[in-house]
Amino acid sequence: MFVNEFNEKIFQTLPGQGWHVLVDRNPEADPSFLDADDPRYSLEPVIAWVTAKVERKHDKGKGSWEEVLIAPLVRTTIHSELELLDARADKYNVVYLAPGETLQDEHFAQLKGAYRKGVAPRG
């Protein structure tokens, strides 16, 4: 196990095996995150699937807990740094593409909450 600079305790990695992640950097949530030349969207190859312990804090500041999660590790296009794309992080919206799947318009719709083809909402 090792601890990265964000205090995430990484204790297992598996190869990315051809998966990709479409990333929306969501400038509405944090406009200062992107520079003028940075793209809003990028398609990042998954380097590894990482099992990690991440510290979570309660919204009202009443303590914290550690959560075990599996998340993709990617090298970001913008800063060329390795980053763990935690699904609970609110600075990104992500959609996963399986090995061999090509990027299509429906993937961008999924970033905004649309369902995948063949999946119907409950109700």
Q: Identify whether 45 is part of a domain.
A: yes
Sequential pLDDT tens for the chain (123 residues)? 667 666 777 888 888 999 999 988 765 656 665 666 677 888 999 999 999 888 777 777 778 888 888 889 888 777 778 888 876 666 778 889 999 999 988 888 888 877 777 666 665
Q: Identify whether 59 is part of a domain.
A: yes
- Give the CA dihedral 93, 77, 45, 27, nearest 10 degrees: 10
Q: Identify whether 17 is part of a domain.
A: yes
Q: Which two tokens stand for residue 4?
A: 């990265």
> Helix, strand, or coil here: 35?
coil
Alpha helices in 42-115 (DSSP H): 105-111
Q: Identify whether 118 is part of a domain.
A: no
Q: Identify whether 15 is part of a domain.
A: yes
pTM above the 0.85 mark? no
How many domains are contained in the chain?
A: 1
Q: How far is the CA of 104 from the CAs of 25, 29, 95, 96, in angstroms?
A: 18, 24, 11, 12
Q: Identify whether 49 is part of a domain.
A: yes
What domain range includes position 24? 2-111
Q: Identify whether 79 is part of a domain.
A: yes
Q: Report the distance separating Cα 6 and Cα 53, nearest Å.
A: 11
Q: Identify whether 71 is part of a domain.
A: yes
Q: Report the distance separating Cα 84 and Cα 117, nearest Å.
A: 27
